[in-house]
A and B are shown apart, each in its own frame.
Chain A
Amino acid sequence: MSTKGRIEIDREFCKGCEICISFCPKNLIAPSDKLNASGYQPASFNDNGECTGCAICAVVCPEVAIEVYRG
């Protein structure tokens, strides 16, 4: 299955602010079940093939914790 885009979230940078979750136009991000080392619930990416690589999540992330890959 080919995906137009995907993201990688750095679990340890993420502080669980959930801004990316609320801005993703495809609702592909959700809080993870597992805490990170700082005690936050980091955001986690649901790689179901619908990510377009729009990068809105990366733009809004205050921790610069998201990398976006396209194509």
Chain B
Amino acid sequence: MTEVIDEMNLQDKAIGIPPAGCAVFAYYYFDVDMAECAHGRGAAVATGLKRAYPEAIVFTYQGDGDLAAIGTAETIHAANRGERITTIFVNNAVYGMTGGQMAPTTLLDQKTTTTPYGRDVKLEGGPLKISEMLALTKGAVYIERTAVNSPANIRKTKKAIRKAFQTQIDDLGFSLVEILSPCPVNWKMTPLESWQWIDQEMIKEFPLGVIKDVTGEKDAD
């Protein structure tokens, strides 16, 4: 992300909104203006900021709980309105910051601290494919799912992030990159095992690739 911001010369205009959860310390890692906001409200705060100051390149950096649990309404509606914001959605299938509880994206049978017997679809529902859901809205114009568990995937992630920012710069609509990310500590694996687990298990449920791209068809308003 920082490489993209640097290469696209966005450092003066980028404003990041990391809400609570895994993303909350993001402001220590990015040397751009940033503002923390309430858990789940990233899309709404970003909406307000971009509407008030459209010259900014506004991005949110949200985990799966923030975006797909408490923030579902705000995310769907910001996408539906086609807000010119870019959302970086970090999907690690657990609530990492708080110690590994179930997330909306937790896989079936996956054990977490609140699904100690494995996620049961009858009691806990199944993993939410929020990116596919967002693709159904008119305002979402570019959604891609990538991963960071190999050099090739990391490079594809960077390309996707770049395209997402370009979508905002071109004033086309809402853009989102979902990034499957390892959480070795809460998955109780070594880092290498966690990278493999993404390939072996997560990608089956969350396939990589472009989920929606209508940027070619849109004229900038």
Partner-B contacts on A (CB < 8 A): 17-19, 22-23, 56, 59-60, 62
Contact = CB atoms under 8 A, between A and B. Distances in A.
A60 B157 CA distance: 12
Given A17-B191, A19-B191, A56 B184 contact: no
Contact of A59 (B154, B190, B195): B154
A56 B191 contact: no
Contact of B190 (A18, A56, A62): A18
A22 B151 contact: no
B84 to A, nearest CB: 29
A39 B31 CA distance: 28
Looking at chain B's contact residues, the main secondary structure is helix
A17 B184 contact: yes
Nearest to A22: B192
Interface of B: 150-151, 154-155, 184, 190-192, 195
B151 A62 contact: no
A56 B184 CA distance: 21
A59 B155 contact: yes
A56 B153 CA distance: 12
B192 A60 contact: no
Nearest to A17: B191
14 contacts: A17-B184, A17-B190, A17-B191, A18-B191, A18-B192, A19-B191, A19-B192, A23-B151, A56-B151, A59-B154, A59-B155, A60-B150, A60-B151, A62-B191
Nearest to B2: A64
A19 B195 contact: yes
A59 B154 CA distance: 7
Contacts of A60: 150-151, 154
Contacts of B151: 23, 56, 59-60
**Across the A-B interface, the 5 shortest Cβ-Cβ residue pairs:** A17-B191, A56-B151, A59-B151, A59-B154, A19-B191
Contacts of B154: 59-60
B197 to A, nearest CB: 13
B180 to A, nearest CB: 14
Contacts of B155: 59
A56 B155 CA distance: 10
